[in-house]
Amino acid sequence: MKRFNIRVYGIWINERQEILVSDERLGDFRFTKFPGGGLEFGEGIKDCLIREWKEELDIEIEVLDHIYTTDFFQISAFDNTSQIISVYYHVRPVLHDIHSLVFKTIPFDFHENGYDEINFRLLPLQEFSEKDVTLPIDKRVASMITKS
């Protein structure tokens, strides 16, 4: 059955002009994307984003302005029967005390025997480009961010 898969992502650029990305491993597939994830039935889009950041980073965020919603056909990289629709927002942590977060400096710095893992990196916005993310819709958003 063909279906839609709605994804919601947050773009956080900190006061040092660094942008947050997540390096993830799902089995043998490694990819870099913006933090966020899938909308669950009965959930609002912004509520999804808040929940995903709480689950992945254990921080509360404020959802700010809308950046982009997918306007082209994109099949899922994980399921060829799903069409991806992604929504992107600027976000910022509610509490300024996020120093407890651990950021990696090396891409895909995972444990050797792990299956599903996630790490976070802060990249200098001045050096950031669409080459720093893996998925096609993220690449489009990365390009928009670097041009603004």
Range of the domain at 115: 3-147
Instruction: Give ∠ CA 104-108-109 in degrees, rounded to 5.
Output: 55
Cα distance from N-terminal residue to C-terminal residue, the chain:
39
| Single pTM value for the model | 0.90
Domains in the chain: how many in total?
1
CB atoms within 10 A of CB 58: 10
98-130, pLDDT tens digit by residue?
Answer: 666 777 777 767 666 665 688 999 999 999 999
Instruction: Give ∠ CA 14-19-23 in degrees, rounded to 5.
Output: 130
Nearest-10 Cα torsion for 63, 48, 115, 104: 10
52-94, pLDDT tens digit by residue?
Answer: 999 999 899 999 999 999 999 999 988 889 999 999 999 999 8
CATH number for position 81: 3.90.79.10
C-alpha 44: how far from its chain's center?
Answer: 17
Greatest distance between any 2 Cα atoms in the chain:
46
Higher-scoring residue by pLDDT: 87, 97 = 87
Q: Report the pLDDT value the prediction gives residue 81, as an integer from 0 to 100.
A: 92
Q: Report the pLDDT value the prediction gives residue 23, as an integer from 0 to 100.
A: 93
β-bridge pairing 18-26 and 29-33 = antiparallel
Residue corresponding to tokens 């898969």 = 5
- DSSP 8-state secondary structure symbol assigned to residue 40: P
2-37, pLDDT tens digit by residue?
Answer: 799 999 999 999 999 999 999 998 877 889 999 999
